[in-house]
Structures are given as C-alpha cells and as structure tokens.
Structure 1
Amino acid sequence: MSATDILNITLMQGFAGLSLFSVLLLMGLGLAVIFGQMGVINMAHGEFMTIGAYTVYVFSKWAESMGAVATNMFLPIAIVAAFGIAFVFGWIVEWLLIRHLYRRQLDTLLATWGLSLAMQQMFRSTFGPKEVSPTLPDWLMGSWSPAPGLDIPINGLFVMCLAIVLTAGVLAAMYRSRWGLRVRATVNNRTMANAAGIDTKRTDRLTFAIGCGMAGVAGAAFTTIGSTGPTSGSLYIVDSFLVVTFGGAASLLGTVASAFGIAQTQSISEFFLTGSSARVITLLTVVLILMARPQGLFASKVRRV
C-alpha cells in the first residue's frame, strides 16, 4: 500500500468521523438546551430523533407516489416538518409531564425513560419492527472525488452542512434573540426573571420543545446516512449525554468541541482496532479527562432557583 493510499484512507476515515460528529452534534445541541439549560434528564430524546427520521421516511413515500420531481424536492420540506412535528410533540410532553417534575432530576429520568419505551412501542405498532430507509433524491446520491482514490459521500457532506447551519442558528438564537435572553435569565435566576416579567413557565415549555425539534432534525439528517428502526434513537442517547457532559452541561460551544473530539477519536480508533475496542478507548479517554476536569471542557453555570 502506497503512502497516497494510506493518506486517502486516513482522510476518508476522518470524514467518517465528521459524519458521526454531525449526528452527535445535532443530538447534543438539543440536549444542551434541555439538560444543560433546564436541568431535565430527557431519556426520550432519542425517540424524538426517531420521530424526525420516520417523518422523512413518510415524506419520501409520499414523494415517490407523486413522481420524480417530488422525489428530488421533498427533503428540505421533510426536514422542516421533522422539526415541527418533534417540536409540537415536545410541547405536549412538557405540558403533560415535564412541567410537574422540574428540580426533580431522578423523577424526570424515570418518567422520560418510561416515555421512551412507550414511544418505541408506538413506532413498532405504526411502522413495524424492521428498519426502513427513505428514497433519497438523486442529488444526494454518489460521492465527490477531490483527488484520485479519495471519495467523499455527498450525503455525508449534506449532513455536515446541515449541522453547521443549525449550530449557527442555535448560537444566534441563544445570544441574539429575545428567547435566548429569557432562557439565560431563567437559568441564572428564576426568581429575578419572574420579577422582571418573564413568563418562566412558558420559556421552559418553549425551550423543551425547541430541544425536541432539534432532535427531530438530527433524525432527519441521520436517515440520509442510515436506516431507521423503532430503537434507532436509543442507540445514540448515551453518546449524546456524553457529548453534553464532556463539553460542559450549559455550554453550546463545549457541545461542539466535545462532539468533534469524541467522533474523531472513535472514528480514527476504529481504523486500527475493532469497533468495541475503539469505543472503550473513547470512553476511557473521556472519563480520565472528566476526572481531571469534572465541570467539562468549558465551565458551566449552575442553575439557581
């Protein structure tokens, strides 16, 4: 094997890490809002991702029945719909369940874990137990070859661009919008935020729903690079919490940095070792760093009530 082949393989493995980074980042952003900003341990976050994935699948079947033009145009609409459906479902869940459990993290963990099991059964009853894949547009198929022997999948590039756009949007919303100001005020001091006229209960509900909507977008992106089943979202929930904890629970920039570090470490390790060994090395690395820096890569603020 020549040096050029080794370089190309390394670059493609690194890009595979970027694809994993994009999915973890999209999932982690939603959790950073829900867990980091609100202190809610949402074990059903992966199922909101599955809602987004199944939304794209349903839209693809509808587009298939409408013809080639619809098949090539449905994906952007499906991604917006994935956010909207997950947002509405998250709003309802917060109103029915989560609003009664604030400041009781163990209770939110148990309640949302039960919710995740119920949602998985709902997916099985609706779509069946087998994994499904949408019919992707022609412009998302194939690969880009910037150099001989180096092939980068276009769907992976699309997922990465989507992650960048959503990350920029979340950062802008958190630090430049009225909603972001209300969230940060509520996190810093709920009593003073109420005294200043902020409806903290509505802010909580909107924040939880937005975090769930982000998970829906993550699912929409995921289904372009992999198949979807009733338990697909649960496979990413541990990694997503790891990303948020490692980066710093209330730090969006920390979420970006930790998602990149974890994805690249795991992807590069898998090239030299087995998948399970690479995962063990990644987890050990994260644990050792957290032992030295328990607050995560970026110091996070503690919510006061």
Structure 2
Amino acid sequence: MIGDYTYTEFTSILAMQGFAGLTLFSVFVLMALGLAIIFGQMGVINMAHGEFMILGAYMTYLCSQFFSVYLPSLFSIYFFFAMILAFAASFLLGMLVEWGLIRFLYRRPLDTLLATWGLSLILQQAYRSIFGAREVGVTLPDWLMGSIALTDIIEIPINGLFVMGLTALITLGVYFGMFRSNWGKRMRAVVQNRTMAGAVGINTKMVDRMTFGLGCGIAGIAGSAFTMIGSTGPTAGQLYIVDTFLIVVFGGAGSLIGTIASAFSISQAQSTIEFFLSGSMAKVLTLLTVVGILMLRPQGLFTLKIRR
C-alpha cells in the first residue's frame, strides 16, 4: 500500500496523469516554441504571447461554427482548416505588431515588456467586445472523440494523441526551419551580428518581422490545440504565459532541445502533483523546484555554444 492506494492503483494513477501531462506538455511546447523564437532569438519579452494563442483558439471556434452551419458535410475535417486560419491570423497580427510597435523597441527589454503588456490588455478587451466575456468551446469531430483503452483502468484520449502528433510535426518543422533552411541561417546571422548581416545583403528588418510573425503564428496553432483541453475566454491566455516563460528560461533561452525538455518536466510535475494535492500547490511546488535549479544553473538546462 502507498497511502490509501494499492500498488496497482498507484501505478495506474501515475500512468493516467502521465498521459494527461503529455497533452499539457504538447500545448506548453507549442507555446514555448513561439516564445523561444521571439524571446530566445530576438530578446523581446512578449507579454501578449498568450493573447496570440487565444486568437488562434477563437479562430478555431469561428471555424467550428462556420462549418457546422454552412458546410456540415465537411465538418469532420474542419480542424485542419482551423489550424491554418489560426496560424495565418496570428502570423499576420504578429507582423503588424512588429511593424507598428516592436521594431522601435529592440535592445530595450523592459520597454518591450511594458509595451506588450499594454498590448495584451488591449487584445483582451478587443476579444471581450467581439466574442463576449463568457467562455466558449468548440465541437470536436467524431473521430477526435473517445479514447483508446490500454488496460481496464488506463485510457488514452484520442484528441490528446492528435495534439501530441501535431506538436511533433510542428517541432520538426521549427527545427528544420531554424537550422536547415536559408531563412534560419539569415535569422541566426541577424541575431548574432545584425550589422554584419546587413552588410552582406540580408534584409534585417524583414527577417525581424518574419521571425516575430512566425513565433506568434505558432502560438496561434497552440490556441487550436488548447481548444481540445479547455474553454476559450478573453483572459485564458494569461493562465499560460507565466508557465511558458518559465519553460523557456528553465530550458535555456534559444535552445530547442532545452525548451522541449523543460516543457516535459514541468507539465509532468504539475499533472502528477495536481492529482494528489491541488492545482495551486502543484504550480507552487513546481515553481520552487525550478527556481532552486536555476539558482544552481542560471543558464538553464541547455545553452547554445556561440563563438566569441
């Protein structure tokens, strides 16, 4: 016996919470990938990152409503269109924000923090005015409903498996985009030496705009995934922004592997502790543990090696 549970029950609980943590891990990774690009590569503290996620969630909600009313025969595949729309809307808004606000604040991190925090409040009020203050939820296609039974006790939700598969594809896409493409080379060149990158003919302003837009677009896809595990409201993004920054800093700013490892550790810890204690205590204990590790290793779990 372990407390009030038998060994079999305790093992099953750990397995169930582990799978639940994988779904949370997927959303964390998608959020943190976008923030790792914006914060880790560009040095911009984007406090409105959660609102870009919620924009993607609202686009998914609108797609759900549109297909259910006007294209019911295609409702089973609407989620794929919703993800494309969520990415496009967040990407375009991100490029607009970079052009109208962020480009004036580079190398001024505290100013970007205040400016994007104000932007988050503006977006929250805009969502509240357009979609209402009440939370909304999407209707999932039938093929995303239900679960797969591994044992008599352990079941894996199908939508969780879909989100994990989506996260794996996006992560691979970001990796090849950053480290195996010409755009990734230009982006990393601008980050490491903006003056020299401009001298060799790289349009640094367009690279900045595209990079910021890409980070926001990935957050939009995270919003689509978020609709599978929670309802969407104007302030829902703020519930994830602290965890997302924690993941990026803990993993090592700019490190893709560190972001994934950090997201896995934090999501699994929160999911497991939450079952035995409470949601607030899970966050407190996780935060204290991460802060303790960062005191011993302030550079995070992984760091990029840069020639100086």
TM-score, length-scaled by structure 2 = 0.96
State whether residues 21 and 263 of structure 1, in contact with CA within 8 Å, keep that contact through their aligned partners in structure 2: yes
State whether residues 187 and 303 of structure 1, in contact with CA within 8 Å, keep that contact through their aligned partners in structure 2: no
2: CA distance between counterparts of 1:32 and 1:162? 18
2: CA distance between counterparts of 1:288 and 1:113? 27
- 1:98-109 alignment, distance < 5 Å: 98-109=102-113
2:117 maps to which residue?
113
1:158 is displaced (CA, Å) by: 1.2
- 1:120-269 alignment, distance < 5 Å: 120-269=124-273
2: CA distance between counterparts of 1:267 and 1:185? 39
Confirm whether residue 47 of structure 1 aligns to residue 31 of structure 2. Answer: no
What amino acid maps onto 2:78 in structure 1?
F
2: CA distance between counterparts of 1:250 and 1:300? 7
Confirm whether residue 14 of structure 1 aligns to residue 42 of structure 2. Answer: no
**1:302–1:34 distance in 2 versus 1, CA, 3 Å:** farther
2: CA distance between counterparts of 1:50 and 1:146? 33
2: CA distance between counterparts of 1:262 and 1:137? 30
Deviations 1:22-56 (A, max 9, x none): 11110000000000000000000000000000000
Confirm whether residue 57 of structure 1 aligns to residue 65 of structure 2. Answer: no
2: CA distance between counterparts of 1:209 and 1:279? 30
CA RMSD of aligned residues (A): 1.5
SS at match of 2:149: strand
State whether residues 189 and 303 of structure 1, in contact with CA within 8 Å, keep that contact through their aligned partners in structure 2: no
What amino acid maps onto 1:153 in structure 2?
P
SS at match of 1:64: helix
1:302 is displaced (CA, Å) by: 7.7
1: CA distance between counterparts of 2:174 and 2:282? 31
SS at match of 2:150: strand
State whether residues 42 and 109 of structure 1, in contact with CA within 8 Å, keep that contact through their aligned partners in structure 2: yes
TM-score, length-scaled by structure 1 = 0.97
1:270 maps to which residue?
274
What amino acid maps onto 1:40 in structure 2?
V
1:2 is displaced (CA, Å) by: 4.5
1:279 maps to which residue?
283
1: CA distance between counterparts of 2:110 and 2:278? 35
1:303 is displaced (CA, Å) by: 11
2: CA distance between counterparts of 1:43 and 1:302? 27
What amino acid maps onto 1:44 in structure 2?
A
More moved, 264-273 vs 63-72 = 63-72
SS at match of 1:144: strand
Confirm whether residue 75 of structure 1 aligns to residue 83 of structure 2. Answer: no
1:292 is displaced (CA, Å) by: 0.5
1:193 is displaced (CA, Å) by: 0.9
What amino acid maps onto 1:280 in structure 2?
V
Listed as ranges, the gaps of 5+ residues in structure 1 are none
2: CA distance between counterparts of 1:175 and 1:266? 31
Deviations 1:271-290 (A, max 9, x none): 22222211111001100110
1:10 is displaced (CA, Å) by: 1.3
2: CA distance between counterparts of 1:174 and 1:111? 27
1:292 maps to which residue?
296
2: CA distance between counterparts of 1:281 and 1:149? 28
2: CA distance between counterparts of 1:2 and 1:103? 56
2: CA distance between counterparts of 1:302 and 1:227? 42
**1:258–1:175 distance in 2 versus 1, CA, 3 Å:** same
1:5 maps to which residue?
9
Identical amino acids, percent of aligned pairs: 62
2:33 maps to which residue?
29
State whether residues 188 and 303 of structure 1, in contact with CA within 8 Å, keep that contact through their aligned partners in structure 2: no
Deviations 1:232-273 (A, max 9, x none): 111111110000000111111110010001111111112222
